[in-house]
Amino acid sequence: MIRKIRIVTQGLFLLTFLWLFLQTESKGTDELGYPVKIFLDADPLIFITTILSSREWYQTFFLAIAVIIATVILGRVFCGWVCPMGTLNNIVSALQKKRPRRAPLNWHWLKYCILTFLITLSLFSLQFTGIFDPISFLIRSFSLSVYPLVVYATKATFDLFYNLNIPVLVNMSEFTYALFKKIWLPFQQPFFLQSAFLGLLFFIILGLNLLEKRFWCKYLCPLGAFLGLLSRYAFLQRSVSEGCNSCGACDFDCQGGASPDQKEKWHNTECMACMNCDDLCPQHAVGFRFFKKAQTVPIDLGKRRVIGAILSGLAAVPLMRITAINKQAGASEPKLIRPPGSLDEKQFLARCVKCGECMKVCITNGLQPTFLEAGIEGIWSPVLIPRIGYCEYRCTLCGQVCPTGAIKKLEMQDKEKVKVGLAMIDKGRCLPYAHATPCIVCQEVCPIPKKAIWLEKAKVMSRNEDVMILNQPHIDLDLCNGCGLCEAKCPVLGQPAIYVTSIGESRSKENQLLLS
């Protein structure tokens, strides 16, 4: 009975998660209308490590603290009942019907080591939690890979029917297509760099469930480890009565691999409160009760492993930071254009959890995951690539969905002033400069009310010595905000004749050009 309630609860949370994921998309206004980042807000691991790494308190802490309190009272109910990543692992695990012949790996210690490593990093201001945090991992994988994949396949299928051009069939498929568009398809096909790589990583993690049930949850998840520590002295504890005849029926169905059949030798920190053992016990000997003394063994960890994790954390901080891009202003990749409202790079990296929310919501698909442009420390953090999509002038959505404030939420009048970089012209490729051909596209599209691109009427000689008067674009560096619309629309494809680099970005004191 409790098991059924749990499954329904898990389903509801997963659906809520998916629904909010789908709502992380513009509908034409600058509001989303739903609390789309609520699962990230509720993630205590992100909460604590961000506070440690940024050394600043955090605005939306209520949910994270609620999860901490719930865990102290009820144990790891978040893992067993709420976490959408856990539920997905659970679903794939359910495909494994037979008990595997191998003994389980029992690597429970590994996730505590990962947790220790991440906390050590964050103590030294390096926020790396997002790489392993389940909510971050899930949203990133869905946003950048899984959802685009499903959308592509769906669109391709409907296109196939559309091109068959059989009247009734086309009507039917187009009707369904329109319905899908209303319910769950995005406005446009999302495209992301590294999508295959990120997708592969996600499917491998899901696949591990076939090796062993809830592999990720048991052995890898640092959030699970954190909640495990909190659940050690939880008010709600499992108790096994005298009636237990050690039949072992509960063992295979234990989601945490907590050895429930071992009675008082079981691992209470591994229990996800799934209540399978309670439901399954043929003797009705298992129960969960408040204020019972825990019948359990200590966390299976070992001093050496903990020290090893701390030491590797201590080494990893300088190792990640000695990359030459940190040497001086301007040494980093000039195309590392951060979203509008991003904090100064150091503070930005201390907060960004690489969840991909900003990339999911970006109206032009221009926000993409970095690879090594921002060092390993900044892997999968957002970068604006204007050739893929520019920054929409009156859009502040990325700042609205950022869970940790790495991208500030901007008011509209501030957004219009924030510079993410500056555009410059490549006279060697620009048509009116280099090729005696008229073109004013960059000036036409420039969204700055007074135009950050101005045109100079210039006499240009063609090959036949005809003198032509052409409009040659110039950039007003004071007005340009680096949105990249000019670069996005420049007809000189490939390497554009006008392009944005991060110099002049408002968030940086150092990365400046003009004396101001």
The contact set with another protein (CB under 8 A) reads 26-29, 159, 162, 187, 363-364, 392-395, 431, 437-441, 443-451, 455, 457, 471, 485, 489-491, 493
CB atoms within 10 A of CB 153: 10
Separation between Cα atoms, residue 209 and residue 104, nearest integer Å:
12
Nearest one of 479, 466, 363, 334 to 419, comparing CA atoms: 479
Q: Looking at beta carbons only, is 296 or 364 nearer to another protein?
A: 364
Q: Looking at beta carbons only, is 65 or 179 nearer to another protein?
A: 179
Separation between Cα atoms, residue 232 and residue 514, nearest integer Å:
57
Q: What angle do CA 258, 77, 106 make, to 5 degrees?
A: 20
8 A C-beta contact, residue 432 and residue 492? no
Nearest one of 378, 353, 383, 350 to 41, comparing CA atoms: 353
Separation between Cα atoms, residue 134 and residue 137, nearest integer Å:
5
8 A C-beta contact, residue 217 and residue 86? yes
List C-alpha distances in Å: 299 to 131, 150, 168: 24, 41, 64
Using the 8-state DSSP alphabet, how is residue 218 labeled? I
Separation between Cα atoms, residue 63 and residue 43, nearest integer Å:
8
Separation between Cα atoms, residue 469 and residue 231, nearest integer Å:
76
Residues contacting 337, CB < 8 A, separation 6+: 383, 384, 385, 386, 420, 421, 482, 484, 500, 501, 502, 505
Q: How far is the CB of 231 from another protein (least distance, A)?
A: 45
Could you tell me the sign of the dihedral formed by the alpha carbons of 486, 490, 493, 498, in that order? negative
Q: How far is the CB of 446 from another protein (least distance, A)?
A: 7
Separation between Cα atoms, residue 221 and residue 227, nearest integer Å:
10
Q: How far is CA 205 from the centre of its chain?
A: 16
List C-alpha distances in Å: 1 to 81, 84, 378: 14, 21, 46
Identity at 62, one-letter amino acid code: F
List C-alpha distances in Å: 451 to 366, 426, 476, 489: 22, 19, 8, 15
